[in-house]
């Protein structure tokens, strides 16, 4: 893969961030830990020939909290590269420098971009031509808006239907004008998901299911009635208990709040890093929770499967998108 090209795409998307609103020049803080020093150096090198984006780099684990906080406040956009879930001893609140900066990050979230646990998959995430992502998303949204029924099925025996007539507007995440820059997803909310799935894939969320269970090899079965999970079953040791505990913790956790379709053809497979880019993996993901106070958003990202509109396949994991 061409790493320079990936960074060119990243630098193309950046000025479209909603916090920037066409301003120029743009001052960008790159906060990073040691493993991301090379990536940050590469970004600065790639941006050297233009004068719209003005980057400053700071080490997150070596700089005083106050200096980092001041730099965040002064920036037009701040981008943080660090690991949390993939650390040897992860903590729910993240590494110490993130905990220390939490108030200023929360206050200024609108101009933040957090690349957490991306590792070198940052390059994969930005490897696809922006035009390809934009065209694919637009074509898919068009197909969905013209159809009646979306069907998901897979080789494990999963199947559910959702009415395409009673959907909220699709969110188009193509990197241009999104708060989360990682391109390649369309998402909506449906109240009419009905079926039975044998989920094989990985998790993404604040509760670290991904780190504990990795990429599932044996399915987590879910019975879905009107977008609510009514029953589950699995042979994976410990998972039924952990997942039931999650479902019972808040009524919204039992609800499929997000029907998501990843469209980033640069994300080649699932890694269970609990990193945001995995949600862009091509194919289906279902986001539970997050619709009510105290609930936790948890994405179930399917490793494989077929998506069809009115019986015509638009995506198959073996052949990719056909729209």
* Half-sphere exposure for 285 (CA within 13 Å, toward CB): 29
Segment near Fe ion (CB under 5 A); pick from 8-16, 258-266, 288-296, 302-310: 258-266
Minimum distance, C-beta of residue 90 to Fe ion, in the bound complex (Å): 22
CB 84 within 8 A of CB 94: yes
Minimum distance, C-beta of residue 201 to Fe ion, in the bound complex (Å): 13
Between 117 and 279, CB nearer to Fe ion:
279
Positions 15 through 44 that interact with Fe ion (CB under 5 A) = none
Tell me which of 278, 279, 303, 316 binds Fe ion, using CB under 5 A: 279
Minimum distance, C-beta of residue 284 to Fe ion, in the bound complex (Å): 10
Minimum distance, C-beta of residue 302 to Fe ion, in the bound complex (Å): 12
Size of the site for Fe ion (CB under 5 A): 3
Please give the Cα distance from 155 to 158 (Å, whole number). Answer: 7
Minimum distance, C-beta of residue 36 to Fe ion, in the bound complex (Å): 24
Tell me which of 187, 207, 220, 259 binds Fe ion, using CB under 5 A: 187
Q: Does 289 bind Fe ion (CB under 5 A)?
A: no
Of residues 86, 297, 299, 93, the one with CA closest to residue 204: 299
| Binding string, residues 129-168; x marks residues near Fe ion by CB under 5 A | ----------------------------------------
CA-based torsion, 60, 66, 69, 73: positive or negative? negative
CB 15 within 8 A of CB 63: no
Minimum distance, C-beta of residue 262 to Fe ion, in the bound complex (Å): 8
Segment near Fe ion (CB under 5 A); pick from 17-25, 164-172, 247-255, 279-287: 279-287
Minimum distance, C-beta of residue 182 to Fe ion, in the bound complex (Å): 11
The 3-state DSSP class for residue 161 equals strand
Segment near Fe ion (CB under 5 A); pick from 43-51, 54-62, 156-164, 271-279: 271-279
Instruction: Write out 183-223 in H/E/C secondary structure.
Output: CCEEEECECCCEEEEEECEEEEECCCHHHHHCCCCCCEEEE
CB 183 within 8 A of CB 126: yes
* Half-sphere exposure for 191 (CA within 13 Å, toward CB): 4
Please give the Cα distance from 81 to 29 (Å, whole number). Answer: 11
Q: Does 257 bind Fe ion (CB under 5 A)?
A: no
In the structure, how many helices (H) and strands (E) does the chain have?
8, 18
Between 119 and 290, CB nearer to Fe ion:
290
Between 15 and 184, CB nearer to Fe ion:
184
Q: Does 260 bind Fe ion (CB under 5 A)?
A: yes
Please give the Cα distance from 101 to 84 (Å, whole number). Answer: 14
Applying CB under 5 A, the residues found at the interface with Fe ion are 187, 260, 279
């Amino acid at each position: 893969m061409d790493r320079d090209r990936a960074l060119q795409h990243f630098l193309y998307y950046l000025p479209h961030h909603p916090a920037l609103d066409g301003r120029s020049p743009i001052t960008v803080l790159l906060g990073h830990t040691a493993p991301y020093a090379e990536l940050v150096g590469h970004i600065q090198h790639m941006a050297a020939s233009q004068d719209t984006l003005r980057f400053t780099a700071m080490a997150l684990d070596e700089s005083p909290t106050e200096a980092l906080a001041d730099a965040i406040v002064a920036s037009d956009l701040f981008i943080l590269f660090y690991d949390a879930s993939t650390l040897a001893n992860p903590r729910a609140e993240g590494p110490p420098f993130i905990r220390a900066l939490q108030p200023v990050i929360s206050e200024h979230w609108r101009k933040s971009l957090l690349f957490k646990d991306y590792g070198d998959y940052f390059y994969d995430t930005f490897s696809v031509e922006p035009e390809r992502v934009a065209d694919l998303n637009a074509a898919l949204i068009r197909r969905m808006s013209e159809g009646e029924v979306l069907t998901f099925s897979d080789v494990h025996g999963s199947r559910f239907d959702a009415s395409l007539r009673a959907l909220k507007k699709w969110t188009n995440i193509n990197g241009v004008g999104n708060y989360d820059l990682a391109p390649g997803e369309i998402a909506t909310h449906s109240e009419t998901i009905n079926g039975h799935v044998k989920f094989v894939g990985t998790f993404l969320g604040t509760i670290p299911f991904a780190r504990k269970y990795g990429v599932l090899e044996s399915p987590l079965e879910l019975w879905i009635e009107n977008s609510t999970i009514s029953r589950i079953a699995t042979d994976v040791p410990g998972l039924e208990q952990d997942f039931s505990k999650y479902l019972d913790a808040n009524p919204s956790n039992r609800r499929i709040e997000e029907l998501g379709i990843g469209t980033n053809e640069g994300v080649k497979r699932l890694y269970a890093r609990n990193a945001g880019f995995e949600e862009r993996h091509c194919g289906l993901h279902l986001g539970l929770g997050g619709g009510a106070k105290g609930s936790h958003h948890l994405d179930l990202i399917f490793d494989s499967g077929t998506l069809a509109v009115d019986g015509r396949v638009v995506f198959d994991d073996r052949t990719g998108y056909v729209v």
